[in-house]
């Protein structure tokens, strides 16, 4: 994702620890929901098989999502403002090593729930992809000004759901999600030249 140096709206700043705790708590909550869902619904979850071809497919999808987001960022001002608002809130206090967690925690927990458990439970079909994608988009809602980001997350969820449906391997959307998060966060850090201070 490519980001400009345009000023972002003022937000109540979060500390590095608040962001890291929020990421951890959200990941654990999503994993718990997935676990409870699997107990309630006996439908087998989508498996994750380590296959090089599927890993590469996931990486290519992640690069495609990143490129599409960069284009959207340039041509849709509301999306640009929404993305800047969200990314400034989450990324500004984080240190470079923290970006690994930002890639891994949502990439694993969100994909396990939405594509690994919810999609097979709703049906490995277009209806399942649609409903799980809308739920994924809603997860990214953090205020009325964030609706463009919710639309984008829903579309991305649809693509990730389709990739899971087409390959039968959860590794594909997991790899795409992690890579997208890593590239977007690193790009934002570089372009905004952020150097948060260590907390005591």
- 49-83: pLDDT as tens digits: 999 999 999 999 999 999 999 999 999 999 999 88
Nearest to 129, CA basis, from 113, 112, 115, 109 = 115
- 126-147: pLDDT as tens digits: 999 999 999 999 998 878 888 9
Phi/psi of residue 191, nearest 5 degrees: -70, -25
Q: pLDDT-based confidence at 18, cuts 50/70/90?
A: very high
Helices (H) and strands (E) in the chain, counts: 8, 0
Neighbours of 147 (CB within 10 A): 14
% of the chain exceeding 90 in pLDDT: 78
């Amino acid at each position: 994702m490519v980001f400009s140096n345009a000023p972002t709206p003022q937000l109540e700043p979060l500390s590095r620890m608040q962001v890291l705790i929020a990421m951890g708590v959200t990941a654990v909550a999503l994993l718990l929901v997935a676990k409870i869902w699997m107990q309630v619904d006996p439908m087998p979850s989508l498996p994750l098989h380590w296959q090089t071809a599927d890993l590469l497919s996931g990486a290519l999808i992640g690069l495609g999502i990143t490129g599409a987001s960069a284009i959207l960022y340039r041509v849709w001002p509301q999306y640009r403002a929404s993305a800047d608002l969200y990314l400034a809130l989450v990324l500004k206090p984080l240190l470079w090593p923290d970006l690994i967690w930002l890639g891994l925690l949502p990439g694993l927990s969100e994909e396990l729930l939405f594509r690994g458990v919810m999609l097979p439970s709703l049906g490995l079909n277009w209806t399942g992809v649609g409903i799980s994608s809308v739920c994924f988009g809603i997860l990214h809602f953090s205020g009325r000004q964030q609706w463009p980001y919710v639309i984008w997350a829903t579309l991305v969820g649809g693509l990730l759901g389709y990739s899971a449906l087409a390959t039968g391997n959860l590794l594909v959307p997991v790899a795409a999600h992690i890579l997208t998060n890593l590239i977007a966060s690193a790009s934002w850090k570089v372009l905004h030249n952020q150097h948060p201070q260590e907390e005591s």
